[in-house]
Structure 1
Amino acid sequence: MKIVSSAPIRADLRERLQDGYPQLSFCFHTNIHEAAADLRDADVLITYGEDLTPEMVKRAEHLKWIMVISAGLDRLPFSAIKEKGIMVTNARGIHKIPMAEYVFAAILQWAKKTKKWNEQQANHHWDKYGVKMEEITGQPIAIIGAGAIGGEIARLAKAFRMPTYGVNRSGRPAEYIDHMFKTDRMNEALKEAKYVVAVLPQTKETVALIGRDQFRAMRKDALFINIGRGKTVDQAALLEALKTGEIAGAVLDVFEEEPLDPGHPFWDMENVTVTPHFSSITSEYQPRALAIFEQNLDAYLAGRRDLINLIDLDRGY
């Protein structure tokens, strides 16, 4: 069996795979163009999911399984993949620790006004009462897309005794979520929350799911945080809501177009924090992703197809 990686895998992790599966042929590359020749007769492809084209899928005559070592799948050529009956798995769940920590860094930055701390120090200015800090303990939080990452956010929220509201497709209860709503009842969750966190994947159903009506449903003192996908939010509606005071502020790690245009108003708004889609970055990223791959590889070699994070090719998630 030939396994090709177009993702640049750390040297120690490459060695672990080769030592652990000496009967398999591994071809490690740093990008899809470098991997193209090997891909033609590959059985398995390891990718970040942003580099594969329909033409490459068609030329990969033996490809049976694509392991995406990220959670996002919106750039995969699903039609070509489905046509050839190729199995797809991803690394859903590995981001929950760094992304949940990012969310609480954002919430605490907002509530404790840490930007003002930095300003005062930079100006050598001692003003004990000039920074109007708030407590987050007991404040309600709504999590739009209450999956693995959302569940970890809710778990951490309980340390601050925060009432938790969740939104998912089914409305099915989940651990650490006090009140769960189906997507069509999202606004009922939004109206309660001081903090609203979007953790949505990009699918046909979620594009621009959060728009003008949702921002109008939020509290005027709400902080909106988006760590899912930029296109799940109507960015123009968000900008208007921030300008008019429909919501108090936003922390944005993802955008409709990335990188964010240097001339976009978000950069200079006092009530907005912009970060460059880095909420999931951690030194543990590849080890966690490849641990899922190894568990799936063991199942695959044993002839089983009960793989972790098996993707529904029709839904794209």
Structure 2
Amino acid sequence: MMNTMTTETTVAIAVPLESEFVEHIRAVDPSVTVLYQPELLPPERFPADHTGDPDFQRSPEQDERYWAMLNKAQVLYGFPNESPAGLARIARENPHLQWIQAMAAGAGGTVKVSGLDTDTLQKFKVTTSAGVHALPLAEFAALGILNGFKRSGELAKDQAAKVWPELRTPTRLVNGSSLVVTGLGEIGLETARIARALGMRVSGTKRTIEAIDGIVEVAGNDGLPGLLASADAVVNTLPGTPYTEKLFNRAIFAAMKPGTVFVNVGRGTVVDEAALLEALDNGQISYACLDVFAVEPLPQDSLLWNHPQVMVSPHTSALSVAENRLISERFCSNLRTFLDGGELTHLVDPVYFY
């Protein structure tokens, strides 16, 4: 991507961000002007709270200032108001816009929901924070695997009831077991690294089938049932796209051997939740650790809430206190590339939203 602004590039901070990280952005190059008005941004309730306090409201005068600031910039740090509607508005109003850095790893979903047509989306780039969340997601996946193998749910239930069972139940060894990771991208590879450190044999899927160091076997989605036949645990890291929707259906769960541990840190739409519940009830899945769901927040009437073999996490496994620092570092690196006329990394595909 070529930066057509030869003398000055203006970056506007559209979402809450600590001033120290704003200064890091300013330090990338003397030609960069950073517009940052923290009084126009909702205060963070916790580290890396990109939407900020929902009770925050700008006055009409502040809202006018906020949009005027964004419309001066060629580059935005964050979607306006961190929403699809904000993205749609800035795309209509800012003729200078060249690039937006999104806070989410799966920002393609927001781009799709914005309703912008392909021609409009071709006018500027959107980059995601994919990879920034790889380590916390991989650590959460390891937690899910260990929970399933070590029966932590049953232990918690017995503790709550003050039960000391007469018959002690053995747990399963993670070391020497087999893991399948669907989606050997940055998150999947980080998950594989941690799993191998625990002594697991790792196979997985990738759109481009190629040998990967440390991975026993790589297959496409068509080869997934074959991989699952010998898996003790499965971790999904795939994003939500038309090609992954309900990939984990009845047939895929049936291809797993009884007692498989299932972890989902990708997107909820990749899993047919009715089929998952059946697999839990018939023993194909012994334990499911779920951070994402087809509908979020998870509906109150979902059977997943109270299932004894399910851990429900409210789509928080990617969050860490280091997130703002990591995203800003990623942005600074990409900003240097942008200024030098290079190709930005982690671009959202404007057609497939991946």
What TM-score do you get using the length of structure 1 for normalisation? 0.91
Identity %: 30
Q: For residue 41 of structure 1, what is the aligned residue in structure 2?
A: 72
Aligned pairs for 1:174-253 within 5 A: 174-253=212-291
Of 59, 62, 65, which residue of structure 1 is paired with 2:93?
59
> Where do residues 1-317 of structure 1 align in structure 2 (5 Å cutoff)?
1-21=9-29, 23-28=32-37, 29-30=41-42, 34=63, 35-47=66-78, 51-53=83-85, 54-72=88-106, 73-76=108-111, 77=114, 79-80=116-117, 82-83=119-120, 84-127=122-165, 130-302=168-340, 304-317=341-354
1:78–1:313 CA contact under 8 A, matched in 2: no
SS of the equivalent of 2:235 reads strand
Q: 1:179 to 1:256 in 2, by over 3 A?
A: same
State the SS of the aligned residue for 2:109. coil
Mean CA deviation greater in 195-204 or 129-138: 129-138
Would you say the 8 A contact 2:153–2:308 is kept in 1?
A: no
Distance 1:122 1:15, change over 3 A: same
Deviations 1:1-54 (A, max 9, x none): 322233211232123334555641323534598543422232111226951333
- The answer to whether the 8 Å contact 1:41/1:61 transfers is no
Aligned AA (2:36): C
| Bigger shift: residues 81-90 or 197-206 | 81-90
CA–CA distance in structure 1, aligned partners of residues 148 and 166 of structure 2: 18
Amino acid at match of 2:304: F
Q: Deviations over 1:232-278 (max 9, x none)?
A: 11122212222233322211100011110122111111111111111
Q: Is the 8 A contact 1:116 1:131 kept in 2?
A: no
Instruction: Please list every run of 5 or more consecutive structure 2 residues that lacks an aligned counterpart in the other structure.
Output: 1-8, 43-50, 53-57
Task: After TM superposition, give the deviation of residue 308 of structure 1 in Å.
Answer: 2.1
Distance in 1 separating the partners of 2:312 and 2:283: 18
TM superposition shift of 1:120? 4.4
Distance 1:78 1:184, change over 3 A: farther
Aligned residue identity for 1:307: L
| TM-score normalised by the chain length of structure 2 | 0.82
Cα RMSD (Å) = 2.3
Is 1:253–1:276's contact at 8 Å kept on the other side of the alignment? Answer: yes
1:170 shift after superposition: 1.6
Distance 1:248 1:108 in 2: 12
Deviation at 1:206, TM superposition (A): 1.3
Query: In structure 2, how many angstroms separate the alpha carbons of the residues matched to 1:228 and 1:180?
Result: 18
User: Which segments of structure 1 move beyond 6 Å, counting only runs of 4 or more?
Assistant: none
Paired amino acid for 2:109 = D
Give yes or no for contact 1:195–1:224 (8 Å, CA) kept in 2: yes
- Between the aligned partners of 2:129 and 2:173, the Cα distance in structure 1 is 35
Cα 1:151/1:306, change in 2 over 3 Å: same
1:51-103 CA-partner distances (Å, limit 9, x unpaired): 13334311122111011122112111374464252012122111111111111
Counterpart residue type for residue 43 of structure 1: Q
Q: Could you list the runs of 5+ residues in structure 1 that have no partner in the other structure?
A: none
